[in-house]
Amino acid sequence: MRLVFLGTPEAAVPSLEALVAAGHELELVVTQPDRRRGRGADTSASPIKAAAMRLGLRVADSLEALEGVEAQWGVVVAYGALIPASLLARIPMLNVHFSLLPRWRGAAPVERAILAGDRETGVGIISLEATLDTGPLHAEGRTLIAQKTASELTLELAQMGARLITEVLASEEMLRHPWPQVGESTYAAKLTPETFHLSPEMSAQQALRVVQLERAYFKVQGQRLRILRAHEGDATLAPGALAARGATVSAGFADAALELGWVQPEGSRTMSGAAWWAGARFEGSVTWE
């Protein structure tokens, strides 16, 4: 089948690779332009552009490049922008979306499912419409969230989506007979830096969900401390308090304390909570915010 592919992040790469492996003709891959991805001034290609070049595919960084391209279907995986109705009228497109639609339409469905404490999430293959993630479903897969980090869950969903999109494109029945989304819709708003800032007013469980996003932090004496791993402990601490008992360092939240397993002090390497505490040499009571 003659296809075009639109995608940008690493999570889109498994679908692109699966389509090539399945023997589809990729007429063009469209991704977001090269941009700064680190602290330096140099720009770098998106993961999809790098994968397309490795696979020997033609790649562009603008939807305008699709003018004149003939394709039976387009496949969209986290492209990063809405597709105009005029383009959808010419090339019907399927979207690999990482949620159980209509729950978590929008930009950050994996992270929002974790933060909300959802029991499960999944992947939906939908017909793309000009409105945001509203199209009918051609296939759906599900998985439990449990204690998976955002990157672990995203990888699992990316692989699931790659399998489902190839199944849909191989089945005339699945292509031609989608079913409407059913249920209450919710919007997965973009994450902001404040999303990852832990606060003493949070419950311990809500804080653990933020830690699952792998960018959680709080401040101790004005310095940012990333919390990479934590679990609920036995200590009884006031919200905002920090204390060490033996090899265990705990932080107090609204209803319970969390033991800090692995942390990363500002400008330093990853280390255990106990190693960080020993190196900090705090005097007197210690609080965080």
**In CATH, what number is assigned to the domain containing residue 208?**
3.10.25.10
Query: Are 26 and 136 found together in one domain?
Result: yes
d(CA 245, CA 12): 45
Query: Are 36 and 154 found together in one domain?
Result: yes
Question: What DSSP assignment string belongs to 127-164?
Answer: E--SSTT-SPEEEEEEEE-TT--HHHHHHHHHHHHHHH
Query: Are 174 and 229 found together in one domain?
Result: no
- What pLDDT score was predicted for residue 246? 85
Question: What DSSP assignment string belongs to 155-179?
Answer: HHHHHHHHHHHHHHHT-HHHHH--B
Go through the chain and tell me how many residues it has: 289
Query: Are 142 and 224 found together in one domain?
Result: no
- What pLDDT score was predicted for residue 41? 60
Q: What is the pLDDT of residues 92-129, one digit of tens each?
A: 999 999 999 999 999 999 999 999 999 999 999 999 99
**Cβ neighbours for 270, distance < 8 A, ≥ 6 positions apart:** 228, 262, 263, 264
- What pLDDT score was predicted for residue 35? 82
Query: Are the C-beta atoms of 158 and 13 separated by less than 8 Å?
Result: yes
Query: Are 202 and 251 found together in one domain?
Result: yes
For residue 59, the surrounding DSSP H or E stretch is: strand 59-60
Q: Of the residues 136, 158, 188, which one is the last residue of a structural domain? A: 188
Provide the CATH number for the domain around residue 127.
3.40.50.170
Encoded amino acid at 26, one letter: L
- What pLDDT score was predicted for residue 127? 98
CA atoms within 13 A on the CB side of 115: 21
Q: Of the residues 152, 172, 188, which one is the last residue of a structural domain? A: 188
Q: Of the residues 188, 220, 242, which one is the last residue of a structural domain? A: 188
d(CA 165, CA 174): 10
- What pLDDT score was predicted for residue 128? 97
Query: Are 154 and 207 found together in one domain?
Result: no
Query: Are the C-beta atoms of 74 and 112 separated by less than 8 Å?
Result: no
pTM: 0.94
Query: Are the C-beta atoms of 141 and 122 separated by less than 8 Å?
Result: yes
- What pLDDT score was predicted for residue 39? 61
d(CA 64, CA 265): 45
How do beta strands 137-144 and 120-127 pair? Answer: antiparallel
- What pLDDT score was predicted for residue 38? 60
Q: Which two tokens stand for residue 153?
A: 């869950």
d(CA 278, CA 275): 5
Report the 10 Å Cβ neighbour count for 143: 15
d(CA 113, CA 188): 8
Query: Are the C-beta atoms of 61 and 28 separated by less than 8 Å?
Result: no
Q: Rounded to whole angstroms, what are the CA distances from 221 to 103, 175, 182, 235, 287?
A: 40, 57, 49, 22, 8
Residue stretches of the chain with pLDDT short of 70: 37-41
Query: Are 203 and 180 found together in one domain?
Result: no
- What pLDDT score was predicted for residue 168? 98
- What pLDDT score was predicted for residue 131? 94
Query: Are 166 and 70 found together in one domain?
Result: yes
Query: Are 113 and 137 found together in one domain?
Result: yes
- What pLDDT score was predicted for residue 261? 96
d(CA 46, CA 5): 14
Query: Are 38 and 123 found together in one domain?
Result: yes
Q: Closest Cα partner for 138 from 120, 107, 161, 119?
A: 161
Query: Are 179 and 208 found together in one domain?
Result: no
Domain around 124: 2-188
Query: Are 232 and 184 found together in one domain?
Result: no
How many domains does the chain contain in total? 2
Query: Are the C-beta atoms of 50 and 14 separated by less than 8 Å?
Result: no
